Amino acid sequence: MFTGIVETTAEVVEIIAEGTNLTFRLRSYLAPELKIDQSVSHNGVCLTVTSLDQDSYTVTAVDETLKKTNLGQWNLGTKVNVERCMPAHGRFDGHIVQGHVDQTGICTSIEEVGGSWLFDFKYDASVGNITVEKGSICVNGVSLTVFNSEDDGFRVTIIPYTYEHTNFHQLKVGDVINLEFDILGKYMQKILAKY
């Protein structure tokens, strides 16, 4: 389980196609602290570390993951938001993030407002996911609070720290992002749909 509080970014330094899978080698200062079989969130996608060296590590995305996320659009040099699993003795600073992306969305607007940034995102509402005003959302692995919640979109505010220490500073209008909707909202929606 993750919290959506990104620790750092990692850079894609190699991409290897293996059948329908893609294996990514990423460079990060966290590499010496990782271990093989460890789950790590990459832009909100839980992937397993499969090999390590001094300054990099590898993870593999299977076809199902590539179809539901933006990982297939990564290139050499892509900066990825990275978070290790929450330790049992740690603080829960974000919200419950499973690392299981529900769908992708599109960045439709970016506006700088007095030192922070407003980002608008749209998604395909026919998939059945929802946001709620002041609810939680995970965008590329970052735990955020929703406002201007609509049936097919929402807005978030990004503070300078988050803007600088995640890949939000690289996002452009039209970019595809990974979305994990709030797990509590998903359960409530499923329960209420029966009535």
At 122-162, the pLDDT tens digits run: 999 999 899 999 999 999 999 999 999 999 999 999 999 99
pLDDT band of 116, cuts 50, 70, 90: very high
Among the three residues 18, 52, 84, which one is the final residue of a domain in this structure?
A: 84
Indicate if 46 and 77 belong to the same structural domain.
yes
CATH (domain of 64): 2.40.30.20
Instruction: Give residue 131's domain range.
Output: 103-193
Alpha-carbon distance 58 to 36, whole Å? 9
- Does residue 3 fall inside a structural domain? no
What integer pLDDT is reported at residue 90 of this predicted model? 74
Q: Decide if 69 contacts 78 (C-beta within 8 A).
A: no
DSSP 72-92: GG--TT-EEEEEEPPPTTS--
When pLDDT is averaged across residues 29-53 and rounded to a whole number, the result is 95
Among the three residues 53, 84, 115, which one is the final residue of a domain in this structure?
A: 84
Alpha-carbon distance 137 to 129, whole Å? 11
What integer pLDDT is reported at residue 126 of this predicted model? 94
Is the pLDDT confidence value at 185 over 90? no
State the pTM of this model: 0.87
Among the three residues 30, 55, 84, which one is the final residue of a domain in this structure?
A: 84
Indicate if 13 and 43 belong to the same structural domain.
yes
From the CB of residue 70, how many other CB atoms can be counted at a distance below 10 Å?
20
